[in-house]
Amino acid sequence: MARLAQTADLTDVQQEILSTVRSFVDKEIIPHAQELEHGDVYPTEIVDGLKELGIFGLMIPEEYGGLGESLLTYALVVEEIARGWMSVSGVINTHFIVAYMIRQHGTPEQKEHFLPRMATGEVRGAFSMSEPGLGSDVAGIRTKAVRDGDSYVVDGQKMWLTNGGSSTLVAALVRTDLGADKPHQNLTTFLVEKPAGFGTVAPGLTIPGKIDKMGYKGVDTTELVFDGYRIGADMVLGGEPGRGFAQMMDGVEVGRVNVAARACGISIRAFELAVEYAQQRETFGKPIAQHQAIAFQLAEMATKVEASHLMMVNAARLKDAGQRNDVEAGMAKLLASEYCAEVTTQSFRIHGGYGYSKEYEIERLMREAPFLLIGEGTSEIQKTIISRGLLKEYGLRR
């Protein structure tokens, strides 16, 4: 894009990565996205291409074979990929969160064991907090692990695992009753290694099948059932139980920047489609872009794209600078996802009846945008996080 969503002060390396990814998206993703999405087909060739580009190891430190890039680089790459097809950004997102959690919280052995193979994409990550009875209320997790000698025995059901079938490593948050007063202090993250696939993939571990979704197709989203599943105590993330909630929240915080970046990518694409269509379609003797009502829609859409992009970049840069970004990541996610729903709807309306046809890309974007209002915490949860942070910051001194 010539003018919108530019980012100041990028290094030469960042610019090179982004231009490589953009041309990959234009050549390898956009031309195939419609067909793969409508057929709910896993984008194997696209994923292989991303592996070759090193995208699975983008933020993994160089000592473990990754590119050692920043959260900002990662977020800008996600923005480019989601501009092509959100499902592809879904393939890398859970992987990125799990790699980040291992990098931040893993024992030296866990880092050595997983990160080099995650950098190449040989090991692919999924993360699992949600259960059939809860999503927002994470501290209420019921799936339980009970210590038995050198291992734990896990029972319970998890829900909504993006990449549940295609991944080979699941970071799963479960209850380990440690007697702590606060429920979230009894939660532990386990690093569950498994083969890719569906059905009973290991003794006591079943991935029942793909959930049929409204959009976000191609990438698999699944349940996961533990039934007397035995896992070694060395697979507790960081080695000590009871730290899972904080570890997951750290992962979800960077995940929120990523969801904001996805929303930016989809909004950019929706704008591109609208601005092109509005100059081609004529009504009442002139291109619809020359009707002020449509031109103003374009102006509003572009303004929303800019605001979302700037907030997303700000949240990523704060994290990269080692500062807290919980409020800023929540704001970026809230604004970018709500604007994305608006911008895709505006683009859809500009397309008139054709927007309702499956031949037009905007039909797919319309089904992708709503997920962003839910994933990595709903808008209501973002407002809770933002207001809590602000009240702490602006609390009255008594």
Task: Give the active site residues.
Answer: 376
Q: Which stretch binds ligand FAD (CB under 6 A): 144-152, 156-164, 256-264, 332-340?
A: 156-164
- Tell the residue number behind the tokens 């899972």, with chain if given: 244
For the bound state, the minimum distance from the C-beta of residue 270 to ligand FAD, rounded and expressed in Å, comes to 19
Q: Is residue 96 a contact residue for ligand FAD (CB under 6 A)?
A: no
**7, 89, 94, 258: which one binds ligand FAD (CB under 6 A):** 94
Contact 180, 236 (CB under 8 A): no
Q: Is residue 129 a contact residue for ligand FAD (CB under 6 A)?
A: yes
Neighbours of 373 (CB within 10 A): 18
SS3 311: helix
| Comparison of 54 and 220: residue with beta carbon closer to ligand FAD | 220
For the bound state, the minimum distance from the C-beta of residue 154 to ligand FAD, rounded and expressed in Å, comes to 16
Distance CA 78, CA 94 (A): 12
Q: Is residue 157 a contact residue for ligand FAD (CB under 6 A)?
A: no
**135, 183, 242, 370: which one binds ligand FAD (CB under 6 A):** 135
Strand partners, 188: 174
Q: Is residue 378 a contact residue for ligand FAD (CB under 6 A)?
A: yes
**Closest residue to ligand FAD in the complex (CB):** 135
Contact 231, 224 (CB under 8 A): no
Of 377, 341, 339, 362, the C-alpha closest to 37 is 362
Q: Is residue 134 a contact residue for ligand FAD (CB under 6 A)?
A: yes
Q: Is residue 161 a contact residue for ligand FAD (CB under 6 A)?
A: yes
Site for ligand FAD in 168-227 (CB under 6 A): 213, 216, 221
The beta-strand segments (E) located in 212-304 are 221-232, 282-283, 286-287
Distance CA 276, CA 350 (A): 10
For the bound state, the minimum distance from the C-beta of residue 135 to ligand FAD, rounded and expressed in Å, comes to 2
Q: Is residue 380 a contact residue for ligand FAD (CB under 6 A)?
A: yes
Angle CA(288)–CA(290)–CA(296) in degrees, nearest 5? 90
For the bound state, the minimum distance from the C-beta of residue 219 to ligand FAD, rounded and expressed in Å, comes to 9
Distance CA 197, CA 48 (A): 18
Residue 204 CB burial class (10 angstroms; 0-12, 13-18, ≥19): middle
Q: Is residue 243 a contact residue for ligand FAD (CB under 6 A)?
A: no
Q: Convert residues 357-376 into a mask of x (bound to ligand FAD by CB under 6 A) and - (unbound).
A: --------------x--xx-
Q: Which stretch binds ligand FAD (CB under 6 A): 41-49, 67-75, 128-136, 266-274?
A: 128-136
Residue 23 CB burial class (10 angstroms; 0-12, 13-18, ≥19): exposed
Contact 55, 77 (CB under 8 A): yes
Q: Fill in the amino acid letter for 160.
A: W
- Tell the residue number behind the tokens 């380990």, with chain if given: 176
Q: Is residue 162 a contact residue for ligand FAD (CB under 6 A)?
A: yes
Site for ligand FAD in 273-332 (CB under 6 A): none
Residues that contact ligand FAD, how many (by CB under 6 A): 22
- In this structure, what token pair is assigned to residue 162? 């993006």
For the bound state, the minimum distance from the C-beta of residue 33 to ligand FAD, rounded and expressed in Å, comes to 17
For the bound state, the minimum distance from the C-beta of residue 211 to ligand FAD, rounded and expressed in Å, comes to 7
Of 263, 375, 386, the C-alpha closest to 328 is 386
Q: Which stretch binds ligand FAD (CB under 6 A): 53-61, 154-162, 175-183, 327-335?
A: 154-162
Neighbours of 154 (CB within 10 A): 23
For the bound state, the minimum distance from the C-beta of residue 286 to ligand FAD, rounded and expressed in Å, comes to 42
| Comparison of 252 and 305: residue with beta carbon closer to ligand FAD | 252
| Comparison of 216 and 271: residue with beta carbon closer to ligand FAD | 216
For the bound state, the minimum distance from the C-beta of residue 190 to ligand FAD, rounded and expressed in Å, comes to 14
Neighbours of 210 (CB within 10 A): 17
Contact 185, 242 (CB under 8 A): yes
- Residue ranges binding ligand FAD (CB under 6 A): 94, 127-130, 134-137, 160-162, 213, 216, 221, 371, 374-375, 377-378, 380-381
